[in-house]
Amino acid sequence: MVFNTCMGLVQDANDAEDVAQEVFIQVYESVEQFKGESKFSTWLYRIAVTKSLDHLRKKKRKKRFAFLQSLFGVNEEEVIQDPEFHHPGVKLENKEQAAVLFKAISKLPDNQKAAFTLHKLEGLSYQEVAEALSTTVSSVESLMHRARGNLRKILTDYYQKNNG
């Protein structure tokens, strides 16, 4: 559950393992702060999402810094683009399309990305997603609506470029 959420958000198996480890250590350290007001799984999801998004932000910052260094010739190494991500749970016939979809998901804003991943990959209901993201059901509905719209736009551009 934690690993799958991290995997869906960070889109890399090794990074997902690192983030999952961080999540469990955080849970271990702050389990006293869990007051039982929400489900334990909701609390776990919340930590997993926060840690995964933090990891993505850190990674993006590092990449930007490496790019700047390469521009000024400090870092001679080439900035490597992320390889295509293949989720191990995706059906074989959908592998290629899922890889394209994951690439599009990575371009979404953080909150849309989290809501879409929790709903689609973890199979959580809107109510559960709302609890995990500490928001209301109506804002999750709006996030999902916007996420779908943005994804459609990104995918349309992608297929127009690749088919045209």
Partner 1 sequence: MKLPEHIEKQVAETMASLDGTSRAAANPFLYTRIKAAMDAEESGFWSKTASFMTRPIVAVATVLVILLMNSLICINNQDSHSNSNMASQDEDQLLSREYSVASINEETLYTLNEEQP
**Residues in touch with partner 1 (CB under 8 A):** 1, 3-4, 7, 13, 16-17, 20-21, 24-25, 28-29, 87-91, 94, 97-98, 100-101, 104, 120-122, 148, 151-152, 155-156, 159-160, 163
Q: Which is nearer to partner 1, 43 or 85 (CB)?
A: 85
Q: Using CA atoms, how far apart are residues 44 and 23, in angstroms rounded to an integer? A: 8
Q: Which is nearer to partner 1, 2 or 56 (CB)?
A: 2
Q: Which is nearer to partner 1, 37 or 161 (CB)?
A: 161
Q: Which is nearer to partner 1, 36 or 91 (CB)?
A: 91
CB of 153 to partner 1, least distance (A): 9
CB of 68 to partner 1, least distance (A): 33
**Lookup: tokens for 52:** 């995964």
DSSP classification of residue 141? H
Residue 153 has φ and ψ, to the nearest 5°, of -65, -45
Q: Using CA atoms, how far apart are residues 30 and 100, in angstroms rounded to an integer? A: 37
Q: Using CA atoms, how far apart are residues 107 and 1, in angstroms rounded to an integer? A: 23
**Lookup: tokens for 163:** 């088919």
CB of 139 to partner 1, least distance (A): 22
Q: Using CA atoms, how far apart are residues 94 and 89, in angstroms rounded to an integer? A: 10
CB of 13 to partner 1, least distance (A): 8
